[in-house]
Copies of this chain bind each other. A is one copy, B any other.
Amino acid sequence: MDKYLHVSFSALGDSTRLAVVERLLQGPASVSELAEPHAMALPAFTKHLGILERAGLIRSEKQGRVRTCFVQTPAIQAIDTWLAQRRALWASRYDNLDHLMSRLNGVKNDDPAI
């Protein structure tokens, strides 16, 4: 599970798909409801849904002619867990501050930014 996290990240690495997941966090929706805000033809859009579904981020069920999609929270929770397990590390890594401080100290200050 934790081993294929990059698949989840990859699925979220597209603005359309990220928006779909955000929308589904509000509740289930049909394919056309989900597609409506996105300026692209349906076949392109359903490909995105396929990628999200194969990544385990969403699930869908067809009833009659309408397919309803649901967010799959375990996959999102897996990302959250990954971050939580590393939070102690990135919370203590202030390499950036080191860098910033050396600049503020006037050392080879080529970028006055900030």
**Interface positions of A (Cβ within 8 A of B):** 5-7, 9-15, 17-18, 22, 25-28, 59, 61, 63, 68, 70-74, 76-77, 79-80, 83, 86-87, 89-91, 93-96, 99, 110-111, 113
User: Is B93 a contact of A71 with CB atoms below 8 Å?
Assistant: yes
When all copies of this chain in the complex are counted, the total is 2
Given A5-B18, A6-B15, A9-B12, answer yes or no on A70-B83 (Cβ-Cβ < 8 Å): no
What distance in Å separates the Cβ of A21 from its nearest Cβ neighbour in chain B? 9
Bound complex: CA A5 to CA B94 (Å): 21
Bound complex: CA A14 to CA B18 (Å): 17
What distance in Å separates the Cβ of A44 from its nearest Cβ neighbour in chain B? 16
